Amino acid sequence: MWEAGEGFVVEFSDRILACRDCGKPFTWTAGEQTFYAEKSLMNEPARCPECRAARKARLGLEPPRVMHTIVCAECGQETTVPFVPRNGRPVLCSSCFTKAKAAGMDVRAVALAD
């Protein structure tokens, strides 16, 4: 924590930085600087918010969910799940999962389908 009386006082004011990617100037606000200081982030942001968002998208930090078709081990109904079922693991549709849970089955042993 930054505290007055410990030998230094830090005051933040808006700063203009140049984006590393597009070269456009962008504002690093006092509020963001406070946030960086609180998180102990030493580096200034190198990119403007637009380039940061574009970079994040390029890096694929949020890949689309790939759906796999499975057959419910309980009722035989076809459904899709957002993961690859493990070998030998029964997969239940959501209604069977709810029923199994209500019946006190160890539902951790089965995979839940959406």
Binding residues for Zn ion (CB under 5 A): 19, 21-22, 48, 51, 72, 74-75, 93, 96
- The smaller minimum CB distance to Zn ion, of residues 96 and 111, is found at 96
- The smaller minimum CB distance to Zn ion, of residues 33 and 47, is found at 47
Shortest Å, Cβ 107 to Zn ion: 13
- The smaller minimum CB distance to Zn ion, of residues 33 and 96, is found at 96
Rounded CA separation 94/66 (Å): 18
Residues 6+ away with beta carbon under 8 Å from 79: 69, 70, 71, 72, 93, 94, 113, 114
